[in-house]
């Protein structure tokens, strides 16, 4: 799976973002993942004349998968998961769709630290006082072995004897 990161493109990090408590708290893998999400953004010009402005067209529909991250940086799955969780906790991204329900069904995210996101939706500004740990996706219920698990009030021994006279 190929990512859409082009070497000629880039992103300008403003000082208020760079020196914020939330950004300074991020580990290097989380910073790399944030940059990968930002590089997935596509924009177009809106308006005309002096009122022309740049607008991101796919924010909220971004996906940079675990496989892409592992291929680009040579890291393990746990690094991707912890980086994604830290970005959600610090308020840089928000998951808009869970994904993982079939082949090609990827999770989608919205970046909250770019132009066009309203100030009250920029969670990273509120980070030290508030965090978003409760929005980190939990693993889906593991249904393997549910029928064979120990039940409450039963011991592991068999009720009937297995030996026959």
Residue 103 sits in a domain of what CATH number? 1.10.10
Q: How many distinct structural domains can be found in the chain?
A: 1
Residue range of the domain that includes 87: 15-135
Output the pLDDT for position 52. 78
Is the pLDDT at 37 greater than 80? The verdict is yes
Asked if residue 143 is part of any domain, the answer here is no
Asked if residue 22 is part of any domain, the answer here is yes
**Binning pLDDT at 50, 70 and 90, where does residue 2 land?**
confident
Asked if residue 154 is part of any domain, the answer here is no
Asked if residue 117 is part of any domain, the answer here is yes
Q: CA neighbours within 13 Å on the CB side: how many for 53?
A: 6
Radius of gyration of the chain (CA): 22
Is the pLDDT at 74 greater than 70? The verdict is yes
User: Whole-number mean pLDDT of the chain?
Assistant: 85
What is the C-alpha to C-alpha distance for residues 57 and 44, in angstroms, rounded to an integer? Answer: 7
Please state the pTM of the whole predicted model: 0.79
- Which DSSP category does 54 fall into? E
What is the C-alpha to C-alpha distance for residues 132 and 136, in angstroms, rounded to an integer? Answer: 7
Segment holding 72, helix H or strand E: helix 66-73
Asked if residue 8 is part of any domain, the answer here is no
């Amino acid at each position: 799976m190929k990512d859409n990161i082009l070497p000629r493109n880039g992103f300008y990090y403003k000082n208020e973002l760079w020196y914020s408590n939330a950004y300074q708290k991020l580990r290097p893998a989380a910073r790399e993942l944030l940059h990968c999400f930002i590089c997935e953004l596509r924009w177009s010009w809106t308006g005309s004349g002096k009122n022309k402005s740049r607008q991101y067209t796919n924010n909220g529909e971004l996906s940079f998968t675990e496989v892409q991250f592992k291929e680009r940086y040579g890291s393990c799955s746990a690094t991707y998961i912890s980086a994604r969780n830290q970005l959600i906790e610090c308020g840089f991204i928000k998951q808009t769709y869970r994904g993982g329900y079939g082949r090609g069904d990827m999770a989608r995210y919205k970046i909250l630290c770019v132009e066009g996101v309203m100030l009250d939706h920029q969670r990273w500004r509120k980070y030290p006082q508030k965090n978003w740990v409760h929005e980190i996706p939990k693993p889906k219920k593991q249904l393997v072995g549910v029928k064979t698990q120990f039940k409450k009030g039963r011991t592991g021994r068999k009720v009937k004897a297995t030996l026959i006279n």
